[in-house]
Amino acid sequence: MITKKQTDLENVDFASGQVIIFDKDLKASSFSVVYKVRKTVKVKKVGHAGTLDPYATGLLILCTGKKTKEIYKYQDLPKTYIGRITLGKKTPSMDVETDVSEEKSIDGISEDKICKVRDSFLGTIEQTPPMYSAIKHKGKSLYKYARKGEEIKREPREVSIYDFELTKIELPDVYFKIKCSKGTYIRVIANDFGDKLGCGGYLTELRRTEIGDIKVEDAWKIEDFKNLFEPEPVEE
């Protein structure tokens, strides 16, 4: 696995297969990281082991060459995230991608109530995938229907929440750390969290910090990785 601790990559055979970890920036798409790596290492076969939404940052695992056949191994690992839920407001996308569409008072929302709602998410739960997602319906991603105002029926899925820590409560904001199974939508948890409190809520920050035992602290920034192959020109 190639981490930022390894800076001599000139003789690495990316075509034969490598695993590289990145720290994705805010507003960058997961595919944009794949594209930049493909262009940098000059290998056509590059894929990621689990999408991060553009408004999320953090750990993204990429596989090149023959290692793309092993992507599933990383997809199946538990994921750890830190983030922030803002109570009293809702958005169609359940995060900051879309504007606030509903507002409710948070009067009467106490720390005790918030902790009790948190407890209801622990273990195996059912979760309905959001309309703003890449899940396909008739060959087209659901978010494309959502952007046209169309609602497609989705079936609930079972996901597992292994740990859900409330790291700080500063109403209307609730900060958290969560460890969950693959296929878990954190913005759905934010939305459902607010609904259970009766005031609504949406995801305002999200960062993936771990996938299994792999940590974001060891990950490359894409520009630093590119600069090992294409150093920026020095101004005279």
Euclidean distance between CA atoms 170 and 40, whole angstroms: 43
Structure confidence by residue, pLDDT tens digits, 51-69: 898 999 999 999 999 999 9
For residue 194, pLDDT over 70 is answered with: yes
Model confidence, pTM: 0.92
For residue 204, pLDDT over 90 is answered with: yes
Of 31-35, 90-94, 127-131, which range is least confident? 127-131
Instruction: Output the CA torsion sign for 7, 10, 13, 14.
Output: positive
The structural domains of the chain, ordered by start, are: 18-76+213-229 (3.30.2350.10), 79-211 (3.30.2350.10)
Written as one letter, the residue type at 94 is: M
How confident is the model at residue 142, as a pLDDT?
A: 84
| Selected catalytic residue, list 8, 23, 25, 53 | 53
Asked if the bond preceding 172 is cis, omega within 30° of 0, the reply is yes
How confident is the model at residue 229, as a pLDDT?
A: 86
For residue 101, pLDDT over 60 is answered with: yes
Cross-strand pairs, 179: 80, 163
pLDDT cut 70: percent of the chain above it: 97
Taking CA 38 as the corner, what is the angle to CA 35 and CA 42, rounded to the nearest 5 degrees?
Answer: 150
For residue 233, pLDDT over 60 is answered with: no
| Residue 95 annotated as catalytic | no
Instruction: Identify how many contiguous H helices and E strands the chain contains and give both numbers.
Output: 6, 13
Euclidean distance between CA atoms 80 and 67, whole angstroms: 23
Strands (E), 16-146: 18-24, 46-48, 57-64, 79-87, 89-90, 102-103, 123-127, 136-137, 140-141
Euclidean distance between CA atoms 225 and 4, whole angstroms: 8
Residue of 141, 149, 178, 185 whose CA lies nearest to 163: 178
How confident is the model at residue 235, as a pLDDT?
A: 56
Average pLDDT over residues 83-110: 96
Model confidence at 232, in pLDDT bands (50, 70, 90)?
Answer: low
| 54 C-beta neighbours (distance < 10 Å), count | 18
